[in-house]
Amino acid sequence: MTQEWDAGRLDSDLEGVAFDTLAVRAGQHRTPEGEHSDPLFFTSSYVFRTAADAAARFAGEVPGNVYSRYTNPTVRAFEERIAALEGAEQAVATSTGMSAILSTVMALCSAGDHVLVSQSVFGSTISLFEKYFKRFGVQVDYVPLTDLAGWDQAIKANTKLLFVESPSNPLAELVDIAALAEIAHAKGAQLVVDNCFSTPALQQPLKLGADIVVHSATKFIDGQGRCMGGVVAGRSEQMKEVVGFLRTAGPSLSPFNAWIFLKGLETLNLRMRAHCANAQALAEWLEQQDGIDKVHYAGLHSHPQHELAKQQMSGFGAVVSFEVKGGKEGAWRFIDATRLISITANLGDSKTTITHPGTTSHGRLSPQEREAAGIRDSLIRVAVGLEDVADLKADLARGLAAL
């Protein structure tokens, strides 16, 4: 959009509005066409009025679009909406959730810097740190997510970042984000929180003291399993570095995917409340069934951090994990006996999914790494969708009957 166009009343006044209003309207800047829905800008490049105009935009001296690798109006609308929902100064969209993590670390860390990572993170996140960041001189150590004293003791003089998922994948472990942020800041480090499982509808880590939030927008932000993307949010000074990495390396979000995510955000709060209600009902039901050794869900009173979850989250999320009798063989029989639920490792979909983490999402980890992360052979993860909960119980009952 050029500076000569003033949308005036066409754009919504969002001062002081609530979360649901931001989720529907934040980030939209209407064009001279006066469109009501978010427009989709399919263009790789942009034209300039003069050579001087082009030079000024490339130099960052005047605002405006330059090249869709790092500036696109549809992508920018998504970034501004996420920033509004997370309470961030700025957000930067990326091609996937993993590229959001990649961009954060590459933008903020150098060879010789130290990063502390929770043991309870997604398998690909561990692989990224172990196989690639270490190769380029970033030092990496792992700490049990819930052990605040362990985090404090593990921080070194060169520790740059603390990286956590809370709730974690797939065991729904939590860390006291406010307390961990204080520990990090006292020693000059920054706290990065993967907020994928909660979304800003259920948890806003920046308001609890975290410095940076990352998301796989592929999951609940989309909400229907349609496309891939990621986003990083935090202070503008940090995000400028992430934009710099994006501009050069190019793990960019496509405009079409950004448009899909904008549509997903419009119903985010409604969907997350429905996901949480179904997940709570299934977790309570599973806990009463023979053949189930343990259920992992922060909404259960049996969860060791249930009270913490109530303090820092407004809902307990959609992911329920449980351990069955019979080890891997029992878990596979359970999964194969279902007939409604989709066998897939993705999550955040309106359709319920079921997977065996030890041989899918965490399958590339060594047995020792899986053990450290609490990923047992008997563990099954269900990402609860929006179907009728009675039908989901009936399908899981088929799995129970196969044990």
31 falls within a domain: yes
Residue-range definition of the domain harbouring residue 201: 17-262
6 falls within a domain: no
325 falls within a domain: yes
Inter-residue contact 223 to 348 (CB < 8 Å): yes
Mean pLDDT across 223-232: 97
Q: How much is the pLDDT for 4?
A: 58
Write the CATH number for 327. Answer: 3.90.1150.10
Mean pLDDT across 171-188: 97
Write the CATH number for 26. Answer: 3.40.640.10
pLDDT at residue 71 greater than cutoff 50 = yes
pLDDT at residue 399 greater than cutoff 90 = yes
Token digits for 235?
A: 């202070």
Could you tell me which residue, 70 or 337, shows the higher pLDDT? Answer: 337
* Same-domain status, 309 and 211: no
* Same-domain status, 242 and 281: no
5 falls within a domain: no
* Same-domain status, 392 and 332: yes
Token digits for 132?
A: 């690639």
* Same-domain status, 241 and 377: no
pLDDT-derived band at 182 (thresholds 50, 70, 90) equals very high
Q: How much is the pLDDT for 179?
A: 98
pLDDT at residue 216 greater than cutoff 80 = yes
pLDDT-derived band at 1 (thresholds 50, 70, 90) equals very low
pLDDT > 90: what percent of the chain?
89
Q: How much is the pLDDT for 372?
A: 76
* Same-domain status, 53 and 202: yes
Last residue of a domain, one of 229, 262, 295: 262
Q: How much is the pLDDT for 5?
A: 61
* Same-domain status, 198 and 312: no
Mean pLDDT across 317-335: 97
74 falls within a domain: yes
Mean pLDDT across 343-353: 95
In the 3-class helix/strand/coil scheme, how is the chain assigned residue by residue?
CCCCCCCHHHCCCCCCCCHHHHHHHCCCCCCCCCCCCCCCCCCCECCCCCHHHHHHHHCCCCCCCCECCCCCHHHHHHHHHHHHHHCCCEEEEECCHHHHHHHHHHHHCCCCCEEEEECCCCHHHHHHHHHHHHHHCCEEEEECCCCHHHHHHHCCCCEEEEEEECCCCCCCCCCCHHHHHHHHHHCCCEEEEECCCCHHHHCCHHHHCCCEEEEECCCCCCCCCCCCCEEEEECHHHHHHHHHHHHHHCCCCCHHHHHHHHHHHHCHHHHHHHHHHHHHHHHHHHCCCCCEEEEECCCCCCCCCHHHHHHHCCCCCCEEEEEECCHHHHHHHHHHHCCCCEECCCCCCCCCEEECHHHCCCCCCCHHHHHHCCCCCCEEEEECCCCCHHHHHHHHHHHHHCC
Place of tokens 């003069």: 50
* Same-domain status, 367 and 290: yes
pLDDT at residue 328 greater than cutoff 80 = yes
351 falls within a domain: yes
pLDDT at residue 296 greater than cutoff 80 = yes
Inter-residue contact 261 to 229 (CB < 8 Å): yes
* Same-domain status, 68 and 213: yes
The length of the chain in residues reads: 403
* Same-domain status, 167 and 252: yes
pLDDT > 70: what percent of the chain?
98
Rg for the chain, CA atoms, rounded: 22
**Number of domains forming the structure of the chain:** 2
pLDDT in tens, 240-278: 999 999 999 999 999 999 999 999 999 999 999 999 999
309 falls within a domain: yes
Burial 234-266 (b: 16+ CB within 10 A, else e): beeebbeebbebbeeeebbbbbebbbbbbebbb
Last residue of a domain, one of 262, 282, 305: 262
* Same-domain status, 25 and 68: yes
* Same-domain status, 285 and 215: no
pLDDT in tens, 98-112: 999 999 999 999 999
Say which residues have a Cβ less than 8 Å from residue 240's Cβ, sequence separation at least 6: 90
11 falls within a domain: no
* Same-domain status, 242 and 303: no
Mean pLDDT across 214-235: 98
Considering the entire predicted model, what is its pTM?
Answer: 0.94
Distance between CA atoms of residues 403 and 293, nearest Å: 12
Q: How much is the pLDDT for 2?
A: 47
Mean pLDDT across 321-345: 96
pLDDT at residue 36 greater than cutoff 50 = yes
Q: Would you put residue 60 in left (φ > 0), alpha (ψ -120 to 50) or beta? A: left
Could you tell me which residue, 373 or 325, shows the higher pLDDT? Answer: 325
Last residue of a domain, one of 203, 238, 262: 262
Mean pLDDT across 303-311: 97
